[in-house]
């Protein structure tokens, strides 16, 4: 730090505090915005600059950032008691609220550096108010002094063992020249490290901050090196000419306690402190002695001198100004530059540098004997006594001593500027020298120019989410008393935003309305109106004035009658017409209120019993809950309020359940008494993305840290439970509360599923216990066996390493070994040294990372310094893909986890049984190639290579086996649905449920956290509906909306197969959801699985009549290809007594005429496009049908394409996306038959061995199109006709209004990535539901995941437009890129996702939009798609530009797809991250804008420009990619 130039006092202070502390508590306006100190502190910490007082030479001080309104000094207790030196950087705004802590902390060597507020006109009463708290106070008033006094403060704190407050007005150094920081040697010597070590080595054990541990600061036994008086110097004046020198401490020891500071409140000991036998308490003299010694040292080392009281001016001055305030330089300059005839020409200036302890004797010594009159100027706006505190101090000291001072006059110092200082001085001296000086005369302006407070109140933008909901719910009826925006004339926003003020103003508002009701009542019975009608209306209103709804209606009537009447009385009442409405009164606060419930207004509101509502927003992120200091006593406001007994209480989280927030706020409003709505909105900083907030919320709610609940004490009277739990789990404290009143038992009686909801204590060693139990169980199992032990661990994300490990385990057992197989994460690492033989099989995730269930093991061993594995033998087999990261520099990621393990185990002294085996997906048999070589070596090393009579291994169970075994898709699904001990289903049933339209998933946002808490993953189910052509009635829409709210996660996804998909349906709700879907006359059968899936059809809003004809075909095909098993009805649609089915058609018919017992080898998809629209991506499906219109304008038939498909596997060239090939034309009435025959050929010839090669595209490619066609024709009994001509021009949707040939209207909404949900900003879901409630036509889901409001009659258009406008659903002002984009679901629910998709694509597009704008491309449609994995759900391979997830945050980029879906794209770059994507896309878009030909599409241009080669069909998808892989190692 030697060359550092310090430019502001805050920077100087931060630099010293950093070097002289173990911990710096940095008080900030908010965690998102820095203070004037914190930016410097963070810079130092970022550079890892070491602290000079740290116990080790390289230790960096800990910077603890704390919000100014969260009781910041609480953070000091824990570290200071632990023997760590703590300093605090803050503004003066925190001092008064922290007074209780100040008294406690005074006897610790804490340093508080305080920048006085408000800036440029600081209020020194922040200092004088706490002058008796026992601290030492030092002040500085220039940049250089800030540096020196900061250092003094730290040295003094260390020497005296007492707290020191260093305060300063930052604005007084505004134009100071930069100064140097003192050298490390100087700082070190001034701090005195011996004293530092003495303090650090004596921590105080475990007392709570409220216990009085009896600590009293005691005098250091450090002998003082120099107590010599320092010569006094004033700038520009030789020391000899200035006032008297500082005295030694002993010379005035006769001055007694009235002149001593309250800091020395313990009885004063003898001043001969160093020879007392008992350790003496620190006295004022001690402080003075130490500080003088420190200043003497500074003088020797730096040449700058300081004194307890600084005198500036002539030694023979007769008048003197005692200044306590800013403007020291201003006043001293004015005095120095005074004209001879100025009344203050020969005056002196005296300023206290050491304000407490107040050393009266030292003050007397500082005042020249010539001084007769003293004017005291103090800037103290809040006085509790008539006389200013400084005046009293000076008077007491000077008057009690014999001296020359005759007159002391107090003045109140206001705002002074350079221009007004002389005038002010004249006024002061005129008063001072007058015969009868006026006491307390005001000098300067009362008000300074307005300056924003650094710690001013600003509502974090994120927090507006909840106030928006208040607004939406109650509209203008909502009144937020302490809103920062509210206009409170004459009251500062700091005060008006306080809970006390807000509560008071709410009460006043209630009172005012009560009065108004009285006035209206009186008016209703008076004869003051011109007409009679207002009376009746007013009387009616009075009768209903407390009822929200009725008063509203009555108010309308009353206002209209008063307006007509127009009398004076009417006008008077109308002036306050806002009181006619019953307002919803709210007070909004933050979790800062939970630190001190008594003072925060929470208690007042509860105790008052008044009908007001508190909304308290908690923003502590779940991930930081544990990092919070345990001593920071944040209270559970919810519990506090529930214990109070008279309040409505709700705990909500908008990012978890939007509807629950609505419900809670509505109930709070209706509750006649105090209500507390706690609202969770966790964030780390203002610029957190909604995704971060969402993920933190989910974790907190899921694990019961932030349970969602509602508590209504009135419910009991109605015979309903007071408590409703709206989330799954609750935390311990809440459980205890419910237990106390037996409420939990009641709740569980009503709702038995809550039995297992209680979260364990956070931080307990649940996982450790589980591991131990699992291991013991194995050991017991093995005890009876003989043979050498072999422990096999696996780390696996996709199951390959797991299966290998399990198979290795059975083979080991067959060879007589005592074999244990377990996941790496389930293994207690402390047992490792006791193993004899250990084998680890691990796959590779992301960029050379361990798979999820391997990470904890690796984390535990990688940095261990203690493991001794000398007696352990081991071997590792690694699974990876040598081409996954094709760039040379990324080759290190290939099988990295396995290689790392191999190296680290060997380093710990373990012996290799066999060299590491490397399984490579690129080898002819994939990882099996390497495995075949490795396994025999292992058996060899274990001495069991040649064992006779090994049993035959059972073949692995395949999907085909599961299908055959399932008894027409029954399996044991029905039994497992009844098992409430787990939220999961077995793997085999999991495969079968797909045929029924549902997949098991788990929330990947929660995986790690739940694992850490010892919980199974958050399992839930995705349900996909079967909805041919994507046509839904308005009623069905409402039914779907209900299902998502009541049984799912409150959202719906409109999918790329034109259907509804629900997520987050837990096992217990699966059957009710299936039944509800069937009641809505939809089904889910065959929405997933190895069968024909939902049949798609272009929605074609512009030609409804023609659409109807084509749509009928899609329904016919769908029905025709439906499986016929009755298992679906049996499992899902039976009543609870398992007897009656819910829909017709329960004939038992276990026969599949089309499918047979093994169904199809793989999924099968049919879609119909209606030219010129290729919105269904007709080339991407197993069967693509292109509708051909006859000359009569009716549907004639279809060109049938076969063998399109999207799924592929990264780097596996045997897999590829493919476009459908034309088989020929087929008449409309025959189309279902032709489809059937295509499907049957696939059924019989598709590959049932290798699911990666099982789709129809591979069957056709292997067979050849002509052979395949012939087989179809053979079964069909007729040939295809030659294909007819057609033309496509786009595969994206056209948004906005269109009219069809019947004159009906259709509106296409833009639904980004098909997600239907409500957010506080955009209530899309509610809006669509309201439209559905009045819509007479239907909805059509588009293949691009958007939505069409179809068939609106002209007369209904205005009403629909009004609703659209109300809910912002008519907004289509998006870039054409966004309108043409599409993403699959991916995280958090899709188990295959390797990267984000739906949650990320909108973010990426936002980052590109500026570039589009710059290049004039905003209106140019470019088809961009993203998927989380190469399964290709959003059909990425047909996009002009596509991103396909490769690893978390990394994507493969593809270019060159055809604009209307006619051509596949090709790999352009592998595994690139956002910065690379932007770096590629931006210049490319710019080039496109300038180089394209008229009408040339982006995909076509990338080929013409030579950026990418065209892919002609799937089999050359991997040829000529832009980024050729190099095979060099």
Residues with catalytic roles? 1024, 1093, 1163, 1165, 1384, 1390, 1429, 1433
- The answer to whether residue 1001 forms part of the interface with ligand SF4 (CB under 6 A) is no
Determine the interface stretch with ligand SF4 among 501-509, 767-775, 1290-1298, 1381-1389 (rule: CB under 6 A): 1381-1389
How do beta strands 354-356 and 136-140 pair?
A: antiparallel
Q: Which is nearer to ligand SF4, 72 or 1445 (CB)?
A: 1445
* Binding-site member from 1094, 1427, 1471, 1511 for ligand SF4 (CB under 6 A): 1427
Burial of 1355 per CB tally in 10 Å (0-12, 13-18, 19+) = exposed
Does residue 265 sit in helix, strand or coil? coil
Determine the interface stretch with ligand SF4 among 504-512, 682-690, 1270-1278, 1423-1431 (rule: CB under 6 A): 1423-1431
Q: Which is nearer to ligand SF4, 1411 or 1433 (CB)?
A: 1433
Q: Which is nearer to ligand SF4, 217 or 1383 (CB)?
A: 1383
- The answer to whether residue 1054 forms part of the interface with ligand SF4 (CB under 6 A) is no
Q: Cα dihedral sign for 244, 247, 253, 257?
A: positive
Determine the interface stretch with ligand SF4 among 84-92, 144-152, 579-587, 1383-1391 (rule: CB under 6 A): 1383-1391
Token pair recorded at residue 191: 């701090």
Name the nearest CA neighbour of 231 among 286, 298, 186. 298
Name the nearest CA neighbour of 1205 among 982, 1432, 976. 1432
Minimum distance, C-beta of residue 1392 to ligand SF4, in the bound complex (Å): 4
DSSP code per residue over 1190-1227? -TTSSEEEEEEEE--B----TT-TT---B--EEEEEEE
Minimum distance, C-beta of residue 986 to ligand SF4, in the bound complex (Å): 21
Burial of 981 per CB tally in 10 Å (0-12, 13-18, 19+) = exposed
Helix H or strand E segment including 501: helix 499-524
Minimum distance, C-beta of residue 1040 to ligand SF4, in the bound complex (Å): 20
Q: Angle formed by the axes of helices 1034-1047 and 1324-1334, to 10°? A: 140
Minimum distance, C-beta of residue 483 to ligand SF4, in the bound complex (Å): 43
Minimum distance, C-beta of residue 1431 to ligand SF4, in the bound complex (Å): 4
Determine the interface stretch with ligand SF4 among 111-119, 319-327, 1189-1197, 1430-1438 (rule: CB under 6 A): 1430-1438
- The answer to whether residue 1452 forms part of the interface with ligand SF4 (CB under 6 A) is no
Cβ neighbors of 346 (< 8 A, separation 6 or more) are 313, 314, 316, 317, 318, 319
Q: Which is nearer to ligand SF4, 1381 or 1431 (CB)?
A: 1431
Strand ranges inside 40-110, DSSP E: 62-67, 86-91
Q: Cα dihedral sign for 1121, 1122, 1123, 1125?
A: negative
* Binding-site member from 216, 766, 1012, 1392 for ligand SF4 (CB under 6 A): 1392
Name the nearest CA neighbour of 664 among 714, 613, 700. 613
Spatial contact of 117 and 123, defined as CB atoms under 8 Å apart: yes
* Binding-site member from 1393, 1412, 1472, 1510 for ligand SF4 (CB under 6 A): 1393
- The answer to whether residue 1433 forms part of the interface with ligand SF4 (CB under 6 A) is yes
- The answer to whether residue 1442 forms part of the interface with ligand SF4 (CB under 6 A) is no
* Binding-site member from 1025, 1077, 1384, 1455 for ligand SF4 (CB under 6 A): 1384
Closest-CB residue for ligand SF4? 1428
Spatial contact of 353 and 305, defined as CB atoms under 8 Å apart: no
- The answer to whether residue 1386 forms part of the interface with ligand SF4 (CB under 6 A) is yes
Determine the interface stretch with ligand SF4 among 234-242, 1142-1150, 1214-1222, 1426-1434 (rule: CB under 6 A): 1426-1434
Q: Which is nearer to ligand SF4, 390 or 1025 (CB)?
A: 1025
Cβ neighbors of 94 (< 8 A, separation 6 or more) are 27, 68, 72, 73
Minimum distance, C-beta of residue 1401 to ligand SF4, in the bound complex (Å): 11
- The answer to whether residue 1180 forms part of the interface with ligand SF4 (CB under 6 A) is no
Token pair recorded at residue 1236: 């059937």
Does residue 718 sit in helix, strand or coil? helix
* Binding-site member from 1397, 1421, 1452, 1470 for ligand SF4 (CB under 6 A): 1397
Name the nearest CA neighbour of 422 among 483, 301, 510, 332. 332
- The answer to whether residue 268 forms part of the interface with ligand SF4 (CB under 6 A) is no
Q: Which is nearer to ligand SF4, 108 or 1400 (CB)?
A: 1400
- The answer to whether residue 1429 forms part of the interface with ligand SF4 (CB under 6 A) is yes
Whole-number Å distance between alpha carbons of 1410 and 1073:
43
Strand partners, 1052: 1062, 1316
* Binding-site member from 592, 1385, 1405, 1464 for ligand SF4 (CB under 6 A): 1385
Residues 57-96 that bind ligand SF4 (CB under 6 A): none
Determine the interface stretch with ligand SF4 among 575-583, 607-615, 666-674, 1380-1388 (rule: CB under 6 A): 1380-1388
Q: Which is nearer to ligand SF4, 996 or 1435 (CB)?
A: 1435
Whole-number Å distance between alpha carbons of 1163 and 1182:
9
Whole-number Å distance between alpha carbons of 1377 and 1380:
5
Token pair recorded at residue 222: 């450090």
Minimum distance, C-beta of residue 1297 to ligand SF4, in the bound complex (Å): 32
Cα atoms in the Cβ-side hemisphere of radius 13 Å centred on 229: 15
Does residue 118 sit in helix, strand or coil? coil
Minimum distance, C-beta of residue 1443 to ligand SF4, in the bound complex (Å): 11
* Binding-site member from 134, 1337, 1432, 1456 for ligand SF4 (CB under 6 A): 1432
Q: Which is nearer to ligand SF4, 319 or 1345 (CB)?
A: 1345
- The answer to whether residue 1431 forms part of the interface with ligand SF4 (CB under 6 A) is yes
Spatial contact of 1109 and 1195, defined as CB atoms under 8 Å apart: yes
Token pair recorded at residue 675: 């209500």
Determine the interface stretch with ligand SF4 among 140-148, 295-303, 1425-1433, 1460-1468 (rule: CB under 6 A): 1425-1433
Minimum distance, C-beta of residue 895 to ligand SF4, in the bound complex (Å): 24
Q: Which is nearer to ligand SF4, 816 or 1391 (CB)?
A: 1391
Strand partners, 478: 584
Minimum distance, C-beta of residue 769 to ligand SF4, in the bound complex (Å): 35
Name the nearest CA neighbour of 677 among 753, 618, 751. 618
Q: Give the interface size with ligand SF4 as a residue count (CB under 6 A).
A: 13
- The answer to whether residue 1390 forms part of the interface with ligand SF4 (CB under 6 A) is yes
Mask: binding to ligand SF4, 533-562, rule CB under 6 A, as x and -?
------------------------------
Minimum distance, C-beta of residue 1436 to ligand SF4, in the bound complex (Å): 8
Determine the interface stretch with ligand SF4 among 5-13, 587-595, 657-665, 1424-1432 (rule: CB under 6 A): 1424-1432
Minimum distance, C-beta of residue 1383 to ligand SF4, in the bound complex (Å): 8
Q: Which is nearer to ligand SF4, 411 or 1063 (CB)?
A: 1063
Burial of 636 per CB tally in 10 Å (0-12, 13-18, 19+) = middle
Cβ neighbors of 1485 (< 8 A, separation 6 or more) are 1408, 1411, 1412, 1415, 1417
Minimum distance, C-beta of residue 990 to ligand SF4, in the bound complex (Å): 15
Determine the interface stretch with ligand SF4 among 3-11, 1015-1023, 1371-1379, 1389-1397 (rule: CB under 6 A): 1389-1397
What residues line the site for ligand SF4 (CB under 6 A)?
1384-1386, 1390, 1392-1393, 1397, 1427-1429, 1431-1433
């Amino acid at each position: 730090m030697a060359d550092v130039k310090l430019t502001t006092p805050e920077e100087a202070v931060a630099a010293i505090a950093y070097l002289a502390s173990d911990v710096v508590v940095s008080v900030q306006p908010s965690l998102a915005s820095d203070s004037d100190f914190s930016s410097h502190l963070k810079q130092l910490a970022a550079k890892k600059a070491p602290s000079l007082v740290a116990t080790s030479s390289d230790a960096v001080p800990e910077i603890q950032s704390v919000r100014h309104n969260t009781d910041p000094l609480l953070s000091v207790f824990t570290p200071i008691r632990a023997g760590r030196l703590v300093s605090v950087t803050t503004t003066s705004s925190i001092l008064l609220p922290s007074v209780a802590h100040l008294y406690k902390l005074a006897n610790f060597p804490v340093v508080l550096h305080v920048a006085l507020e408000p800036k440029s006109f600081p209020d020194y009463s922040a200092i004088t108010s706490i002058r008796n708290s026992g601290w030492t106070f030092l002040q500085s008033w220039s940049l250089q002094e800030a540096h020196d006094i900061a250092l003094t403060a730290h040295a003094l704190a260390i020497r005296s063992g007492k707290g020191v407050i260093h305060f300063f007005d930052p604005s007084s150094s505004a134009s100071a020249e930069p100064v140097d920081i003192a050298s490390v040697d100087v700082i070190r010597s001034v701090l005195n490290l011996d004293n530092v070590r003495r303090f650090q080595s004596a921590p105080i054990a475990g007392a709570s901050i409220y216990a009085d541990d009896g600590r009293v600061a005691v005098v250091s036994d450090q002998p003082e090196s120099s107590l010599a008086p320092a010569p006094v110097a004033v700038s520009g004046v030789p020391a000899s000419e200035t006032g008297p020198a500082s005295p030694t401490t002993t010379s005035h020891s006769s001055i007694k306690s009235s002149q001593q500071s309250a800091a020395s409140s313990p009885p004063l000991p003898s001043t001969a402190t160093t020879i007392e036998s008992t350790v003496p308490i620190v006295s004022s003299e001690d402080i003075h002695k130490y500080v003088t010694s420190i200043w003497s040292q500074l003088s020797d080392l730096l040449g700058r001198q300081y004194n307890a009281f600084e005198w500036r001016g002539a030694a023979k001055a007769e008048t003197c100004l005692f200044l306590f305030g800013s403007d020291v330089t201003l006043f001293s300059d004015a005095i120095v530059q005074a004209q001879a005839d100025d009344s203050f020409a020969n005056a002196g200036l005296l300023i206290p540098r050491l304000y407490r302890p107040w050393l009266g004797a030292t003050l007397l010594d500082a005042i020249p004997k010539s001084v007769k009159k003293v004017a005291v100027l103090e800037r103290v706006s809040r006085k509790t006594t008539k006389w200013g505190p400084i005046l009293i101090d000076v008077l007491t000291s000077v008057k009690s001593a014999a001296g020359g001072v005759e007159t002391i006059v107090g003045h109140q110092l206001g705002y002074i500027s350079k221009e007004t200082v002389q005038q002010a001085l004249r006024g002061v001296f005129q008063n001072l020298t007058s015969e009868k000086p006026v006491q307390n005369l005001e000098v300067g302006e009362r008000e300074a120019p307005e300056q924003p407070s650094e710690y001013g109140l600003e509502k974090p933008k994120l927090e507006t989410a909840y106030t928006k909901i208040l607004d939406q719910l109650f509209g203008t009826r909502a009144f937020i008393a302490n809103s920062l925006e509210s206009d409170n004339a004459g009251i500062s926003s700091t005060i008006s935003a306080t809970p006390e003020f807000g509560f008071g103003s709410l009460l006043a508002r209630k009172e005012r309305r009560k009065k108004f009701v009285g006035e209206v009542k009186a008016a209703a019975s008076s004869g003051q109106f011109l007409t009679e009608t207002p009376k009746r209306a007013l009387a009616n209103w009075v009768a209903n004035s407390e009822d929200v709804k009725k008063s509203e209606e009555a108010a309308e009537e009353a206002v209209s009658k008063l307006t007509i009447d127009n009398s004076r009385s009417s006008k008077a009442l109308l002036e306050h017409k806002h009181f006619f409405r019953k307002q919803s009164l709210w007070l909004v606060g933050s979790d800062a209120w939970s630190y001190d419930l008594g003072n925060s207004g929470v208690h007042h509101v509860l105790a008052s019993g008044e009908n007001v509502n508190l909304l308290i927003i908690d923003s502590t992120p779940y991930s930081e809950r544990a990092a919070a200091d345990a001593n920071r006593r944040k209270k559970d406001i919810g519990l506090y309020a529930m214990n109070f007994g008279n309040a409505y209480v709700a705990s909500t989280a908008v990012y978890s359940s939007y509807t629950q927030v609505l419900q809670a706020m509505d109930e709070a409003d209706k509750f006649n008494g105090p209500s507390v709505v706690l609202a969770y909105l966790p964030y780390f900083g203002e610029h957190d993305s909604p995704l971060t907030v969402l993920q933190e919320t989910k974790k907190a709610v899921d694990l019961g840290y932030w349970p969602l609940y509602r508590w209504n004490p009135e419910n009991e009277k109605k015979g309903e439970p007071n408590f409703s739990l709206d989330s799954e789990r609750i935390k311990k404290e809440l459980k205890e509360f419910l237990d106390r009143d037996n409420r939990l038992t009641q709740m569980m009686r009503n709702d038995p599923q809550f039995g297992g909801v209680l979260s364990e204590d956070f931080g307990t060693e649940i996982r450790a216990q589980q591991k131990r139990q699992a291991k013991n169980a194995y050991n017991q199992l093995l005890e009876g066996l003989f043979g050498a032990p072999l422990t096999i661990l696996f780390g696996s994300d996709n199951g390959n390493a797991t299966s290998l490990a399990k198979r290795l385990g059975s083979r080991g057992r067959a060879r007589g070994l005592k074999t244990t197989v377990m996941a790496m994460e389930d293994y207690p690492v402390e047992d490792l040294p006791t193993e004899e033989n250990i084998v680890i099989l691990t796959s590779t995730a992301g960029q050379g990372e361990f798979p999820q269930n391997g990470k904890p093991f690796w984390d535990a061993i990688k940095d261990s310094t203690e493991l001794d594995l000398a007696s352990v033998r081991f071997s590792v087999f690694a699974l990876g893909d040598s081409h996954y990261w094709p760039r040379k520099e990324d080759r290190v990621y290939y099988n990295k986890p396995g290689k790392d393990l191999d190296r680290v185990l060997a380093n710990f002294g373990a012996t290799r049984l066999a060299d590491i085996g490397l399984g490579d997906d690129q080898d002819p048999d994939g990882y099996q190639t390497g495995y075949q070589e490795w396994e025999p070596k292992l058996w060899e090393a274990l001495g069991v290579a040649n064992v006779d009579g090994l049993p035959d291994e059972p073949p692995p169970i395949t999907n085909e086996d599961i299908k055959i075994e399932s008894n027409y898709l029954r399996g044991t699904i029905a039994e497992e649905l009844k098992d409430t001990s787990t939220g999961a289903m077995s793997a085999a049933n999991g495969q079968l449920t797909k045929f029924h339209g549902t997949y098991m998933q788990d929330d990947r946002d929660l995986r790690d956290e739940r694992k850490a808490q010892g919980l199974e993953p958050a399992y839930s189910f995705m349900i996909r509906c079967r909805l041919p052509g994507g046509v839904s009635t308005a009623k069905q829409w409402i039914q779907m909306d209900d299902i998502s709210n009541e049984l799912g996660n409150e959202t719906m996804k409109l999918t790329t197969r034109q259907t509804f998909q629900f997520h987050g349906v837990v096992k217990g709700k699966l059957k009710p959801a299936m039944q509800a879907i069937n009641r809505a006359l939809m089904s889910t059968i065959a929405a997933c699985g190895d069968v024909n899936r939902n049949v798609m059809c272009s929605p074609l809003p512009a030609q409804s009549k023609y659409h109807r004809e084509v749509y009928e075909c899609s329904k016919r095909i769908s029905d025709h290809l439906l499986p016929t098993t009755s298992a679906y009805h049996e499992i899902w649609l039976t009543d609870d007594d398992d007897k009656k089915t819910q829909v017709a058609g329960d004939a038992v018919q276990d026969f599949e005429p089309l499918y047979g017992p093994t169904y199809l080898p793989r999924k099968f998809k049919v879609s119909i496009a209606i030219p010129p629209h290729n919105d269904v991506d007709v080339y991407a499906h197993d069967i693509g049908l292109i509708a051909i219109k006859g000359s009569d304008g009716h549907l004639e038939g279809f060109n049938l394409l076969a063998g399109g498909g999207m799924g592929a596997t990264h780097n596996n060239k045997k897999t590829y996306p493919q476009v459908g090939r034309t088989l020929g034309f087929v008449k409309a009435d025959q189309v279902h038959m032709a489809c059937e025959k295509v499907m049957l050929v696939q059924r019989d010839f598709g590959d049932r061995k290798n699911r990666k090669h099982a789709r129809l595209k591979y069957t056709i490619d292997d067979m050849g199109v002509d052979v395949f066609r012939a087989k179809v024709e053979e079964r069909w009994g007729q040939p295809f006709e030659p294909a007819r001509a057609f033309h496509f021009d786009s595969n994206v949707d056209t948004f906005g209004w269109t009219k069809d040939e019947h004159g009906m209207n259709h509106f296409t909404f833009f639904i980004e990535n098909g997600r239907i949900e409500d957010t506080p900003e955009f209530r899309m879901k509610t809006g669509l539901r309201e439209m559905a409630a009045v819509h007479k036509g239907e909805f059509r889901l588009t293949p691009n995941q958007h939505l069409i409001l179809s068939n609106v009659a002209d007369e209904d258009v205005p009403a629909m437009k009004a609703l659209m406008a109300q809910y912002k659903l008519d907004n289509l002002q998006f870039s054409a890129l966004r309108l043409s984009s599409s993403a699959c679901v991916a995280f958090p629910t899709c188990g295959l996702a390797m990267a984000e998709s739906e949650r990320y694509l909108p973010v990426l597009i936002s980052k590109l939009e500026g570039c589009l704008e710059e290049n004039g491309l905003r209106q140019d449609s470019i088809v961009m798609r993203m998927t989380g994995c190469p399964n290709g759900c959003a059909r990425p391979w047909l996009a002009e530009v596509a991103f396909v997830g490769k690893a978390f945050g990394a994507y493969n980029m593809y270019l060159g797809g055809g604009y209307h879906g006619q051509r596949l794209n090709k790999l352009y770059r592998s595994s690139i991250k956002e910065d690379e994507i932007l770096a590629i896309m931006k210049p490319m878009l710019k080039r496109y804008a300038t180089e394209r030909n008229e009408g040339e599409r982006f995909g076509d241009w990338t080929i013409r420009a030579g950026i990418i080669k065209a892919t002609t069909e799937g089999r050359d998808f991997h040829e000529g990619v832009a980024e050729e892989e190099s095979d060099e190692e």
